[in-house]
A and B are shown apart, each in its own frame.
Chain A
Amino acid sequence: MTGPHEARPVGRVRFMDAQRVNLDGFAVENPELGLVALASPYDPEPGLVVEDGVVVEMDGVRADEFDSVDAFIAAHGLDLAVAAEAMALPDVALARMMVDPGVPRAEVVRLCAGTTPAKLARVLAMLRPAELVMAMTKLRARRTPSNQAHVTNRLDDPLLLAADAATAAAFGFRELETTVPVLADAPSNAVAVSIGAAVGSPGVLVQCSVEEALELELGLRGFVSYAETVSLYGTEQVFTDGDDTPWSKAFLTGAYASRGIKMRVSSGAGAEVLMGGAERRSMLYLESRCVSLARAMGAQGVQNGGIDGASVAGAVPRGVRELMAENVMVMARNLESCSGNDALMSESDVRRTSRTLPIFLAGSDFVCSGFGSIQRYDNMFGPSNWNAEDVDDYLAMQRDWGVDGGLRTADPADIAALRERAAQAVRAVYEWFGLADFTDEQVAAAVDAAGSKDLAPGDPVAVTHAARTIRETGLTMADVVTALYETGFEPEAERLLDMLKVRVAGDCLQTAAILTPDMRVLSLVTDPNDYSGPGTGYEPSPERQAEIDAIRQQRSVEDLRREQAAHARDALRPAGPATQGGDPREVVIGVSPATGRDIWVTLSGLPVVDVLRELLAGLEEEGCTARIIRFCDTIDLGMIGLSAARLAGSGIGIGLQAKGTALIHRRDLAPLANLELYSIAPVLSAADYRLMGVNAGRHAKGGAPEPARNPYTDEAIEARYHTKVVSLVAIERAHCRPGALPEELVL
């Protein structure tokens, strides 16, 4: 349709265009470029031909044409004993088994072990969002959900890294991932974050995401306790561009395990598209190749769900659904899922929440493979989907839904103390080895900093120097343990030594292993997910539920009573029983039972006494007289106002609840009718009450003033004040006595 508005959209559309969601890119689905989420017309037909125990054809490709990814999966990845049974199952049958709580997880895992990449992708593509939630609830490996944090900063400042690592550990994250803007700084970051983590809690696993060979070296020397950045890709070309092959990655997987180091691989939709190598396949099919390969290599887990390519998936239809399907696919292959949510996939708070919510509700081995526990600008992976500014939101969401997303409230005083100790510990260790000398001011700045912008510009060369020294002098984590011990940080030395001893035991090599603060290993082996419908599976313990519920912002009636009591004053005093007035210019201000007893401040923060003075001043301007009468037999504002009007000589009354809600009433009206009403107490100012006094005076004189209007607001006033209202009403109710007579008050 064409018309006069074709050139310039109308206001409604201009307004919509300006919303943050429209900063996001949205792509037309295009299989040629791999811009397709769940199924491409070019995805192969699932199929498997086995001869004499050897795969001779898989997903339409003959063995002599296998690329290196196919070849590795065919050689190592499939359980040929169940392959015939699994491949013969209709897609919908296997999809239903994933969702049905009556089918044990082990049965789904058994069958999926015999499915080819194309088969499993087709099955996952069938699951609708709520079914993905059910499947994830059942199929995740570990019973207890957990979460991982990013801890990085722009300066690689070791004091801030340690303070932030301790903070993240205090918030409950059981894995911390750091990385570097400057590659050479990696050893310093790994040491600083490990020390900080040990200050925050025992048993926190730490990794430093860098180039594969350096990451392995950091692991071998004990500076990190797990590895994650072992990237897999769904096409051979992109895999090789990443400077690895399935065999080099498989060897790396064994190398980490040979030193007792937990490791997971990393993949996810969009990587192949971004590198122009998707080969016209759907994102889910390519990711299915990665996950099949991960299992074939013997990795215990996979970080996927888009990761760096999450925004690419998010740009196409059903892309966010595809991201979650990837995670469920990992779980169906009996692997640990570290389920993405670690890259800001939208400028819109609504979309980024929508992207995470189903996973958060279902529970994952790690809900985020990197919750940005630091400021967005300090996140050297790029902003996460969740960042420092979202920690309280996330804690509130856990409380809202009663689910365990892996986080806990940290006491503000504890955070301060932990940050101080973490920064001091790093300072001591760096001085001990002659790596760097930090001043008291630098420590104090790091402890207080909300992010690296709060620090004085440091000396970037100093960090690089420290890192080079760590690397070249052959320091190991055992040396760091000694340094901590010698400098008075014995508990932290013990904790880091324990992390080294964990490797010797090897229990963290099992699927989905984390350590509890009392150093128990929770994994597929020790804490298997046993969900089989309502009443089964993970439920937070009463202690954990209390932790989830007790966010630091919660307030009780008693808290509010104390706040109010702090404002008590003796300006409002009883002066005997109330009487009927006769002066035709008299207006009565009726107040609620708790006014001047337990409630002293309105929801807008005005002292009740000041509100009364404004009302009186307004009446005086109009030449009216006034009395204040407290009604003790009702908390209903309409009744208070009407009762006041009936006692007033003029027949006009003002009703005021101590929380600030006010109205003008007339003696001949029904209780629920009134002349003017201020219903939104939290936004009322002194001037508003003055105006109500003036208008009441004009009504008393028989005039018809223009009604005062509630001040306008578009804020979530009710969310802000409703809990207070409940408490204030309870306090009013406690002062209410049936049949009690009204009493005069003097101000």
Chain B
Amino acid sequence: MTGADPRLRAYSGRPVEAVTLEAVRRGEVSADDLRISPETLEAQAVASERHGNPQLAANLRRAAELARISDEDVMRVYEALRPRRATAGELSALARWLEERGCPRNAALVRQARDVYVRRGLTR
């Protein structure tokens, strides 16, 4: 890839420039070598803020937290937030779980959802 920052590292810590076609073919590239890191997401959040979009920055910071959790867990949280999938108690538990997994921003989002869902009849 042209233009890639040679210092850029994947989630695994591996420099992106080391992820070559040959390495992929030899089976030496893991999923984490092709995954964005929380640090890179934070850097992108800073850029979004500079370009007049604090909401995009906030999203990228929530994303930086989610970068650390598995695909399955991401899917699970999403499902729980859909209308009438979870009780208020289940959403509280989910928020606690996110908090414990180092995702305080996402935990806050889930708590806020819980409060609105209760008021608007969107809990199970």
Contact = CB atoms under 8 A, between A and B. Distances in A.
Interface of A: 66-68, 71-72, 75-77, 79, 106, 109-110, 113, 212-213, 216-217, 220, 222, 236, 240, 243-245, 247-248, 250-260, 295-300, 334-335, 476, 478, 481-482, 485-486, 490, 493-494, 497-498, 500-507, 509-511, 518-521, 524-525, 528
B3 interface: yes
A67 B79 CA distance: 21
A510 B44 contact: yes
Given A245-B113, A519-B3, A485 B25 contact: yes
Interface residues of B, number: 59
A497 B21 contact: yes
Interface string B58-85: 1110111111000100110111011100
5 contacts: A75-B112, A76-B55, A255-B63, A510-B56, A524-B51
B20 to A, nearest CB: 8
Interface string B1-38: 11111001011000010010100110001010011110
Contacts of A72: 116
A505 B4 contact: yes
Given A68-B116, A501-B34, 4 more contacts: A247-B113, A251-B77, A334-B53, A524-B51
A460 B48 CA distance: 45
Nearest to B70: A220
A506 B51 contact: no
Contacts of B78: 212-213, 216, 248, 251-252, 255
Interface string B98-124: 000000001001101100110010100
B120 to A, nearest CB: 5
Nearest to A498: B1
Give the residue among B52, B54, B57, B65 with the most A Cβ atoms within 10 A: B52
B120 A67 contact: yes
Contacts of A504: 8, 10-11, 16, 19, 34-37, 40
B116 A247 contact: yes
Interface of B: 1-5, 8, 10-11, 16, 19, 21, 24-25, 29, 31, 34-37, 40-41, 43-44, 47-48, 51-60, 62-67, 71, 74-75, 77-79, 81-83, 106, 109-110, 112-113, 116-117, 120, 122
A253 B66 CA distance: 11
Nearest to A244: B82
Contact of A244 (B25, B31, B83): B83
Contacts of A334: 51-53
A299 B2 CA distance: 27
Contacts of A505: 4-5, 8, 16, 36, 40
Contacts, number: 196
Contacts of B2: 518-520
Contact of A299 (B3, B37, B47, B59): B59
B112 A257 contact: no
B44 A258 contact: no
B77 A298 contact: no
A350 to B, nearest CB: 39
A79 B122 CA distance: 27
Given A505-B40, A510-B48, A250 B24 contact: no
Contacts of A109: 52
A294 to B, nearest CB: 9
Contacts of A253: 59
Given A478-B34, A505-B8, A79 B54 contact: yes
B34 A222 contact: yes
Nearest to B36: A260
A448 B8 CA distance: 43
Contacts of A520: 2-3
Contact of A77 (B4, B55, B110): B55
B58 to A, nearest CB: 5
A503 B51 contact: no
Contact of B64 (A244, A258, A298, A299): A258
A645 B116 CA distance: 95
A106 B110 CA distance: 33
B109 A245 contact: no
A469 B4 CA distance: 34
Given A497-B21, A509-B44, A258 B117 contact: no
B34 A295 contact: no
B74 A250 contact: no
Contacts of B74: 216, 220, 255, 258
A497 B56 contact: no
Nearest to A212: B78
A298 B56 contact: yes
Contacts of B58: 76, 298
B21 A485 contact: yes
A80 B81 CA distance: 27
Contact of B36 (A75, A77, A255, A258): A258
A572 to B, nearest CB: 61
Contacts of B79: 213
A505 to B, nearest CB: 6
A54 to B, nearest CB: 13
Contacts of A244: 82-83
A521 B19 CA distance: 20
B19 A501 contact: yes
Contact of A248 (B65, B66, B81): B81
A229 to B, nearest CB: 14
Contacts of B110: 247, 251
Contacts of B56: 298-300, 510-511
Contacts of A502: 1
